[in-house]
Amino acid sequence: MRIGIDLGGTKIEGIVLDGSRELARLRIDTPRDDYDATLAALVALITNLQQTAGAAATIGIGIPGTIATTGLVKNANSTWLIGRPLQHDLAARLGRNVRIANDANCFAMSEATDGAAIGADVVFGVIVGTGTGAGIIVRGQVLAGANGIAGEWGHNALPWPDDGERPGPPCYCGKSGCIETFLSGPGLTADHERRTGVQMLPREIASAADRGDRAAVATMERYEHRMAKALASVINVLDPDVIVLGGGMSNIDRLYGNIPRLWSQWVFAATGSAPDLRTRLVRARHGDASGVRGAAWLWEASEA
C-alpha cells in the first residue's frame, strides 16, 4: 500500500494506492502562509489515509519546490515552506520516513509508471499551465539532479529565437525570454493580446483557431513553433523516448499532431538529412491526478 500526497498552493490532496488501484482520496485546503498549520494539516490528512492504508503504508509527497542538500525546502512558490525542514518535521511527527519530490517529478513518475509513458526508458514529463516545468524519469527512477533542478527547462531562454522573440517578455525569475514566458497559459494569452489587443484565455484562443479565426490561428502557429523549438533542444540533450504533456495547455488537441511535424527542423541532424525521430509526444493519462499518484510511486514495489 502506498500513500501519495500532493501539497499544492491552495489544496492538499491525498490518495491511497493498492498497486494501480485507488482506494481512497481526500482533499483539504492548504493553510496558506502558515508552516506549522501546513505541517499539522499534512499529519492529520496522512493519519486519516492510514486508516484505509494501514500504518505500514509508504508515504510520498509532491511539493512545489525541492529539498536542498541541506534538507531544507527551496524554490517553492508556496513561499512559507522555503527554508523549512519539511521532511524531517513530518518524519518526526509521523514516526516514519517520508519521501518528498518536486511536483513535476511526481507528475513524470506517475505517467512513466502506469500512465501515457508506461514502459518507456526515458521520459520527459512536462507541465504547461500557469508555469512551465518538467520532470525526468530514467528507467523508472526520478532523475532529481545534483542541484534538484533537473528538468527545469522553463527558465532556459527560448532557443533559435526569431527577431520578434528577442529579448522576449520579462520573467519573474529576473531574466527575459524564458521558455515559460512563451509557453505557459498566461504566456499564450499575453502573446495573443500583444498582436491583437484582445485578451483571451488559452482555451478560447484554441477554439477560435479551430473555427478558423485568422488571428487565433496565427497565435497557435507561433505557439507551436515555439514549443517545437523548446522541445527540440530537450531532444538534443536528453533524447527521450516519450514526452508527456500535462497541465492546462495539454488539453489543446492540435499540439500532438503539429509539434512533432515541426520539431525535426531543430533536432540535430547532418545537413540535408531529415531525422527520423522515434520520440513521441503524448497527452497525460491521469490528468490532475498525476501529482498524487506520482508521489505514491516514489517508493518502489519492493519497499511498499
Report how many residues bind Zn ion under the rule CB under 5 A. 4
Q: By C-beta, is 123 or 171 nearer to Zn ion?
A: 171
- Taking the complex as a whole, the smallest distance from the CB of residue 173 to Zn ion amounts, in Å, to 3
Helical ranges in the chain per DSSP H: 35-53, 86-94, 103-114, 179-183, 185-196, 202-210, 214-238, 254-263, 290-296
Cell of 220: 497557435
- Taking the complex as a whole, the smallest distance from the CB of residue 169 to Zn ion amounts, in Å, to 10
Q: By C-beta, is 155 or 293 nearer to Zn ion?
A: 155
CA distances from 148 to 52, 65, 141, 243 (A): 32, 9, 14, 20
Q: By C-beta, is 100 or 134 nearer to Zn ion?
A: 134
Judge contact between 137 and 150, C-beta under 8 A: no
Could you give the CA distance from residue 226 to residue 237 in angstroms, rounded to a whole number?
17
Could you give the CA distance from residue 180 to residue 66 in angstroms, rounded to a whole number?
19
- Taking the complex as a whole, the smallest distance from the CB of residue 116 to Zn ion amounts, in Å, to 27
Judge contact between 3 and 50, C-beta under 8 A: yes
**At residue 226, what is the residue type?**
R
Q: By C-beta, is 3 or 171 nearer to Zn ion?
A: 171
CA distances from 166 to 163, 227, 272 (A): 6, 16, 28
- Taking the complex as a whole, the smallest distance from the CB of residue 145 to Zn ion amounts, in Å, to 18
- Taking the complex as a whole, the smallest distance from the CB of residue 152 to Zn ion amounts, in Å, to 9
- Taking the complex as a whole, the smallest distance from the CB of residue 155 to Zn ion amounts, in Å, to 4
Q: By C-beta, is 159 or 275 nearer to Zn ion?
A: 159
CB burial of residue 211 (10 Å; 0-12, 13-18, 19+): exposed
Q: By C-beta, is 157 or 304 nearer to Zn ion?
A: 157
Q: Which residues contact 295 (CB under 8 A, 6 or more apart)?
A: 4, 5, 6, 60, 61, 62, 101, 106
**Residue 31, preceding bond cis, omega within 30 degrees?**
no
Binding mask 129-158 for Zn ion (x = CB under 5 A): --------------------------x---
Q: By C-beta, is 181 or 189 nearer to Zn ion?
A: 181
- Taking the complex as a whole, the smallest distance from the CB of residue 156 to Zn ion amounts, in Å, to 9
The count of C-alpha atoms lying within 13 angstroms of the C-alpha of 110, restricted to the half-sphere facing its C-beta, is 36
Query: Collapsing DSSP states into helix, strand and coil, what is residue 21?
Result: strand
- Taking the complex as a whole, the smallest distance from the CB of residue 228 to Zn ion amounts, in Å, to 20
Could you give the CA distance from residue 194 to residue 199 in angstroms, rounded to a whole number?
9
Q: By C-beta, is 172 or 268 nearer to Zn ion?
A: 172
Binding mask 161-190 for Zn ion (x = CB under 5 A): ----------x-x----x------------
44 binds Zn ion (CB under 5 A): no
Chain residues binding Zn ion by CB under 5 A are: 155, 171, 173, 178
